Amino acid sequence: MKKLILLLLLVIAQKAIAQKQDYPIQPVPFTSVKLTDKFWNSRIETNRTVTIPASFERCESTGRVKNFQMAAEHKGKFCTTYPFDDTDIYKTIEGASYSLALHPDEKLSKYVDSLITIVGRAQEPDGYLYTARTIDPLHVGSWLGTERWVKEQENSHELYNAGHLYEGAVAHYMATGKRNLLNIAIKNADLLVNTFGPNKRHVAPGHEVVEMGLVKLYRVTGKKEYLDLAKFFIDERGHKEYNKKSKNVYENGIYWQDNKPVVEQDEAEGHAVRAMYLYSGMADVAALTGDKQYLAAIDKIWNNMVGKKMYVQGSIGAVGDGERFGENYELPNATAYNETCAAIGNVYWNQRMFLLHGDSKYIDVLEKTLYNGLIAGIGLDGKSFFYTNAMQIHDSFNHPDIERGRSGWFVCSCCPTNLVRLIPSIPGYIYAQNGKDVFVNLFISGTGNLKVGSKAVQIIQQNNYPWDGGLTFTINPAASMDMNLKLRIPGWAQNVAMPSDLYAYQTPSGQKAEIKVNGKTVNYVMQNGYAVISRKWKKGDKVEMNLPMDIRRVVANDKLPENCDKVALQRGPLMYCAEWKDNNGKAANIIIPQNTTFTAAYKPGLLNGVTVLKANVKAVKVDAGGQNISTENTTLTAIPYYSWANRGAGEMTVWFPQQVKYVDLLTH
Amino acid sequence: MKKLILLLLLVIAQKAIAQKQDYPIQPVPFTSVKLTDKFWNSRIETNRTVTIPASFERCESTGRVKNFQMAAEHKGKFCTTYPFDDTDIYKTIEGASYSLALHPDEKLSKYVDSLITIVGRAQEPDGYLYTARTIDPLHVGSWLGTERWVKEQENSHELYNAGHLYEGAVAHYMATGKRNLLNIAIKNADLLVNTFGPNKRHVAPGHEVVEMGLVKLYRVTGKKEYLDLAKFFIDERGHKEYNKKSKNVYENGIYWQDNKPVVEQDEAEGHAVRAMYLYSGMADVAALTGDKQYLAAIDKIWNNMVGKKMYVQGSIGAVGDGERFGENYELPNATAYNETCAAIGNVYWNQRMFLLHGDSKYIDVLEKTLYNGLIAGIGLDGKSFFYTNAMQIHDSFNHPDIERGRSGWFVCSCCPTNLVRLIPSIPGYIYAQNGKDVFVNLFISGTGNLKVGSKAVQIIQQNNYPWDGGLTFTINPAASMDMNLKLRIPGWAQNVAMPSDLYAYQTPSGQKAEIKVNGKTVNYVMQNGYAVISRKWKKGDKVEMNLPMDIRRVVANDKLPENCDKVALQRGPLMYCAEWKDNNGKAANIIIPQNTTFTAAYKPGLLNGVTVLKANVKAVKVDAGGQNISTENTTLTAIPYYSWANRGAGEMTVWFPQQVKYVDLLTH
């Protein structure tokens, strides 16, 4: 009860700040939404029962917790690899906090508090918190530097650690109402405020995230210095001397988005995760300060990314060397890097872009990423992960960057702990509102409790999304009320494969989304990608929307020659792939002729229940001797991309040739 | 007659210098060898009647001659693209000079003299000769700089022009006895001597060749300052400040072999042509000064190049960006750059390495390059050229660096004019001697006139090389004499595919080289790859050597994964390829099973007469619809690599899969 009051206070506090200047659209917090959704509840439950415990267990067994204990006693030797390993604890606490808010759990709550106590002890008297240095300031690694904050560009990640501390602390406070971690964060943030700024120290954070973290701290404390410092850090970028002529992204500053002042940046460049966190931070600061230059910059960058640098299943960061964006249209299949963290950052950024602009195209990108490139990063078991997300696995091609199988943990384990915190926060992405305008962005069964003006209204979603297109929304206002219900009609349901010309559907679908209110079909008005239904709503009003779930053939822009004459398969929000397991041990040998007809069938027993696509296609065979090659008719079984690599390692492909002009003969 | 006397004087002068310190082995100059060889005479004659005239014609029509005329009058505007376009005239004069020595031609001789007059007029009073600057010193392009010699690293090529001037001048003087071009060169070289050196100006030449040129001037003038300046220029390398950490070869100095002092260099790196000219210059200076450090460096570099950076047909310079050597084992087939000039430079360098060490492995590399990667650079018509030399042409793969067809000329036309001068100099690579040791390096029919001690001896070669392995050598001493005849037994005839572990023969040949003297088989001693026949020779002694001409399957080192399970085909010194024209329009679709048997047949009417290889193999077909792929039996016809692309553009490949494990389905 105490918790709910605090949350209420918090929401009011946020509103109060929002009155001044904030996102014109406000998300309905995840704490106000209770899910009944089969697709997502199972994932959130797996996260709670498997991923979070496994993550904490790994933080202990790998020495991440021990680092904090040694820091508290200023003795021992930093016993993991990276100085930013601290963040895995902060991120897991963040995920555990969301989980606790959705599903109270005394044991977990106690464990988190005990960890927070250890974290607190590791904090230095002036608020500095960075175990790698505190354990033994004299014997820090070369990339930490012998002084605080002098090696941000050499990946000391001191400010990155701080940012994740703040995000974890705010989540923990919001979820539990406890200030124990929040106070640690505030003490650390105050140190930064006293250290950095005009006429103080200057630094461009090496790995962004502190900007988002400071904004979150500002939201819960109302302390403007935090917002100012976030803006200061952002504006620090692009003033360091780099070798601009160099093509080496480390030498020219592009790797850190530090080659130009942010307001001059117009392309998604450099390390993809850092980029997503920077653009998200810029969106936050733009919303809270009304900075038009930030807005102009991130709008340009978004158009560049979605128009030239995004994979068809919503992943970003094509290039392994530097975990970064490639050149425009540099989207190789065989060596796609696609860090899971970048997909998560892409969700953060696109949610913010939507809150700024109220356009559904941002949610189209968010949904594409969320249902495909992002959740592909975690195995169905909840404890095996991909750091990179391949577009194609070919038995004859190996590359050090390409993961063929999942791992339980990584030396640099940012992705698993990022998933830990993203999954339970999903309820927070479903609804948003701006006064009487209520946005329904994601189609996830459950109940959302909103207030329109001062009036409570409940929205109950019932569907079997993403498998079925039949969606039901029951509207229960406390008393009848005016409200503009804005139902997002996904781009894919409007023959828009991607809000850019990067990908398109080979043939438009004849069907369109149908909407009924209380059984009567309505001619809805479209506004920024939303069907707007404005009426006086009364308890029990029922809205039904039917999205066309036909199987779509996606084709790529000619500027992606690798995908020339190829198709990718989509049904609803899901992109599909062919995996070795369902296709006689191979996938790279499949040809899908233009005229192929597909059938979709839900398989409850397969991969925790998935709708598979089947079709009669051609496949190429090579005989044992390697002398005879032939094509034969075979049945293609395609599974949702997110579900690949849960049955062992083998070939997988997203893009299929429709016809073959040549073959390359491979000997290994 | 006058000419012959002068040549004699020259040879004596060279000997005089050689007495002091020089290559232990001296080449028999091309002027002492008269060819009757079908293979080479036809090329030398085509060079004389087609290539040289075409080259001069293009020097005129493209404005290269006009540049000299404008420079003479200090007016007009430099009317070609590159400031080093001057060298095309010098190089064509060099080739014309060799040609004149072999085949007097009044008309050509007059024309050359008229050109030399124009060149002389373009020379500035102090000896400076560089039309791009002289035409209009105030409006030179940014890469020339407003001062002389300040932009060598920006490719001003002032010293490169000088080097080719010297090489042309010395050749012209040796061939004709005329000093008109030589005097221009000496005047220019004296300017350099007065300008550069300790306590004078310092510069590392941007594109090496001046070092070799200065050594040649030293040889004909005996003026030690030229040799000293050559050494000075070489030692200047590696002292400029570069960004050593950069991977960009322009920023780190590797492009110009300027990243380290030459004596610390141990890898073949940077622009391949520049590298060959540098290593050749180092060999010259090492021979003439006894510099052991130079020797140690070029020995290491040679081992690196032949062991890790050479293509199976003798080409070098794998990477297009920078026209340079790649990393160790970076020898891609599809994007092989292989500049023709680099093959020519490789011949220069290996000849010098042989003269230093007397080991036949250097001639093995020279022969491999000469008969394959080098002459592939010129079309059978004598007026169409390759700047780059592909290892594979695949209809489905295009790359801006990869030439599929030959051109009559290039904006940067270094390769055609380099061929103009290389082809007629071939007679100079056949014989060499060190006192009583007479080396026979190349098997080219004709007569070599040597002196052993003071005694004249004539060696007459009769063969049908490279098509047949039967070689006859008739030894005609003026009077009977002792001589150690050292017949090179090519590595390929000793089951050595390459003097390194980079390539090998799949199965050793049972046959070995047979040698008879006056009909009797001799058990020869092998010494550094030479069969040594020591005896008192009398007029008419006849030596017969029979080289095994079986068809060899070449396999690559595992460190070249692209060639894993593939074979290249060799017969005698020739590497073979399959071209579209003889193989139903394709080549990339051929599989050569392990057990394939080959037949060789000489086709007088094909490609000016070549021995082709035939075998029953497998080929992959794709049907028109692109849905059906199959393998069928077919007859492979392979032609000598050097002869490809003389019948239009299409697929070509050097490496063939023996068995296929996978196919990559290509849609374009």
Q: Are residues A226 and A251 in the same domain?
A: no
CATH number of B467's domain? 2.60.420
The answer to whether the beta carbons of residues A135 and A70 sit under 8 Å apart is yes
Read off the pLDDT of each residue in B229-240 and give the average, rounded to a whole number. 96
pLDDT confidence of residue A494:
96
* A32 is a domain residue: no
- State how far residue A641 is from chain B, nearest Cα, in angstroms: 21
The answer to whether the beta carbons of residues B213 and B205 sit under 8 Å apart is no
When CB atoms are compared, the residue of A565, A589, A627 closest to B593 is: A627
pLDDT confidence of residue A144:
85
Query: Which stretches of chain A score pLDDT less than 70?
Result: 1-19, 141
- State phi, psi for A229 to the nearest 5 degrees: -65, -40
* A161 is a domain residue: yes
* The token pair that represents A180 in the structure block: 């124990």
Confidence of residue B599 (pLDDT cuts 50, 70, 90): very high
Tens digit of each residue's pLDDT (9 = 90 or more) over B102-123:
999 999 999 999 999 999 999 9
Q: A399, A428, A457 — which closes off a domain? A: A428
Q: Are residues B535 and B588 in the same domain?
A: no
Does residue B323 have an active-site annotation?
yes
Annotated catalytic residues of A are: 323, 414
The answer to whether the beta carbons of residues B503 and B315 sit under 8 Å apart is no
What is the rounded (10 degree) CA torsion for A342, A347, A348, A353? 120
pLDDT confidence of residue B8:
47
Closest CA to B362 of B385, B379, B346, B383: B346
| Angle value at C-alpha A160, between A159 and A166, nearest 5 degrees | 85
Alpha helices (runs of H) in A197-250, residue ranges in sequence order? 210-221, 224-235
Q: Are residues A248 and A392 in the same domain?
A: yes
Q: Are residues B401 and B445 in the same domain?
A: no
Tens digit of each residue's pLDDT (9 = 90 or more) over B526-555:
999 999 999 999 999 999 999 999 999 999
B250: closest chain A residue by CA: A246
pLDDT confidence of residue A573:
98
Cβ of B663 within 8 Å of Cβ of A659? The answer is no
- State how far residue B225 is from chain A, nearest Cα, in angstroms: 40
Which residue in B251, B655, B662, B666 has the most chain A C-beta atoms within 10 A of its own C-beta, making it the best mutation to test that interface? B662
A661: closest chain B residue by CA: B667
When CB atoms are compared, the residue of A561, A618, A664 closest to B664 is: A664
Q: Are residues A166 and A311 in the same domain?
A: no
User: Percentage of chain B with pLDDT > 70?
Assistant: 97
- Is A138 at the interface with chain B, CB within 8 A? no
The answer to whether the beta carbons of residues B628 and A619 sit under 8 Å apart is no
* A19 is a domain residue: no
Confidence of residue B243 (pLDDT cuts 50, 70, 90): confident
Within 8 A of A620 by CB-CB distance, chain B residues are: 629, 663, 665
Q: Are residues B605 and B459 in the same domain?
A: no
Say if strands A598-603 and A610-622 run parallel, antiparallel, or are unpaired.
antiparallel
C-alpha–C-alpha distance, residues A132 and A142, integer Å: 12
When CB atoms are compared, the residue of A247, A659, A668 closest to B627 is: A659
* B198 is a domain residue: yes
Q: Are residues B260 and B199 in the same domain?
A: no
- Is B396 at the interface with chain A, CB within 8 A? yes
Q: Are residues A249 and A397 in the same domain?
A: yes
pLDDT confidence of residue B166:
98
**This prediction's pTM:** 0.82
* A507 is a domain residue: no
- Is A558 at the interface with chain B, CB within 8 A? no
When CB atoms are compared, the residue of B618, B625, B659 closest to A667 is: B659
| Angle value at C-alpha A334, between A574 and A386, nearest 5 degrees | 60
Cβ of B663 within 8 Å of Cβ of A394? The answer is no
Domain, as residue range, for B218: 62-236
- State phi, psi for A519 to the nearest 5 degrees: 90, -10
> Is the model's pLDDT at B26 over the cut of 60?
yes
C-alpha–C-alpha distance, residues B462 and B512, integer Å: 20
When CB atoms are compared, the residue of B248, B665, B668 closest to A591 is: B665
Read off the pLDDT of each residue in B589-597 and give the average, rounded to a whole number. 96
Q: Is the preceding peptide bond at B499 cis, omega within 30 degrees of 0?
A: no
Q: How many domains does chain A have?
A: 4
* B497 is a domain residue: no
Which of B208, B323, B339, B651 is labelled catalytic? B323
User: Percentage of chain B with pLDDT > 90?
Assistant: 89
Q: Are residues B454 and B348 in the same domain?
A: no
The answer to whether the beta carbons of residues A429 and A27 sit under 8 Å apart is yes
Cβ of A566 within 8 Å of Cβ of B593? The answer is no
B657: closest chain A residue by CA: A667
Tens digit of each residue's pLDDT (9 = 90 or more) over B308-317:
999 999 999 9
Q: Are residues B72 and B197 in the same domain?
A: yes
SS3 (DSSP) at B382: coil
Q: Environment class of residue A384 by beta-carbon count within 10 Å: exposed (0-12), middle (13-18) or buried (19+)?
A: middle
Q: Based on C-alpha coordinates, what's the Rg of chain B?
A: 25
Cβ of B626 within 8 Å of Cβ of A668? The answer is no
- Could you write out the DSSP letters of every residue in B98-135? HHHHHS--HHHHHHHHHHHHHHHHHS-TTS---HHHHH
Cβ of A631 within 8 Å of Cβ of B628? The answer is yes
Q: How far is CA A638 from CA A503, A508, A548, A653, B662, in A?
A: 20, 21, 19, 10, 21
Cβ of A561 within 8 Å of Cβ of B668? The answer is yes
- Range picked from A159-168, B6-15, B505-514 for highest mean pLDDT: A159-168
Which of B59, B341, B414, B577 is labelled catalytic? B414
Cβ of B591 within 8 Å of Cβ of A627? The answer is yes
Cβ of B659 within 8 Å of Cβ of A627? The answer is yes
Read off the pLDDT of each residue in B244-250 and give the average, rounded to a whole number. 87
* B1 is a domain residue: no
Q: At what angle do helices A360-368 and A292-308 cross, to 10 degrees?
A: 50
Q: Are residues B292 and B343 in the same domain?
A: yes
Within 8 A of B396 by CB-CB distance, chain A residues are: 661-662, 664
Which residue in A154, A664, A666 has the most chain B C-beta atoms within 10 A of its own C-beta, making it the best mutation to test that interface? A664
User: Percentage of chain A with pLDDT > 90?
Assistant: 89
Measured on CA atoms in the order B294, B296, B300, B302, is the torsion positive or negative?
Answer: positive
- Is A587 at the interface with chain B, CB within 8 A? no
Within 8 A of A663 by CB-CB distance, chain B residues are: 589, 620, 622, 629, 663-666
Q: Are residues A441 and A407 in the same domain?
A: no
For chain B positions 604-663, those within 8 Å of chain A (CB to CB) are: 618, 620, 622, 625-631, 657-663
Beta-carbon contacts of residue A587 (< 8 Å; ≥ 6 apart): A393, A577, A578, A579, A580, A650, A651, A652, A653
Q: A408, A428, A448 — which closes off a domain? A: A428
pLDDT confidence of residue A246:
86
Say if strands A431-434 and B470-477 run parallel, antiparallel, or are unpaired.
unpaired
* A409 is a domain residue: yes
- Is A584 at the interface with chain B, CB within 8 A? no
SS3 (DSSP) at B539: coil
When CB atoms are compared, the residue of B246, B564, B666 closest to A662 is: B666
Closest CA to A570 of A464, A659, A654: A654
SS3 (DSSP) at A33: strand
Read off the pLDDT of each residue in B412-430 and give the average, rounded to a whole number. 96
| Angle value at C-alpha B417, between B412 and B420, nearest 5 degrees | 160
- State phi, psi for A604 to the nearest 5 degrees: -60, -30
C-alpha–C-alpha distance, residues A17 and B444, integer Å: 92
CB atoms inside a 10 Å sphere around CB B130: 27
Alpha helices (runs of H) in B545-647, residue ranges in sequence order? none
- Is B398 at the interface with chain A, CB within 8 A? no
- State how far residue B645 is from chain A, nearest Cα, in angstroms: 21
Beta-carbon contacts of residue B117 (< 8 Å; ≥ 6 apart): B180
When CB atoms are compared, the residue of A245, A566, A665 closest to B660 is: A665
Q: A208, A236, A264 — which closes off a domain? A: A236
